[in-house]
Structure 1
Amino acid sequence: MRDSLFLSGQGEQSNDRKSTQLKNLIAYRQVVGNKGSSGVDGMQVTELKSFIDYKIAVLTDILKRSVRT
């Protein structure tokens, strides 16, 4: 797992955003470490990282487009 997945970003980040990212990373590690069961959405722990990678790619693309306009 790439920890930078949760901690990377462009430019300066607010302390609130960094805190949220760190909390998300800790939660992710706990779920994966505990081999957590699927939630109400039925997503398995093994699917979580690829889901997060996809969402980050989509959000990054949206942010890049909004900065250019």
Structure 2
Amino acid sequence: MSTYKKPFVIAEIGCNHKGDMAIAKELIKVAKIFCNVDAVKFQKRNNKELLTREQYNMPHPNP
């Protein structure tokens, strides 16, 4: 008898949604379709307070 259980996979979305609900929903869909995750994890903070205007307005880097 096997005691193996499928791992519960959580995608780290972090702050990549930039506070935009539409982007957050799209990231959830992408994580589910392409990575078959069971859940996603977000972070929310006020990046405008943490970054300079120049840093905040820079294009988001892609891997």
TM (normalized to structure 2)? 0.36
- Greater strand percent: which structure? 2
Larger radius of gyration: 2
- Greater helix percent: which structure? 1
Q: Which structure exhibits the higher relative contact order, with contacts defined as CA atoms closer than 8 Å and separated by 6 or more residues? A: 2
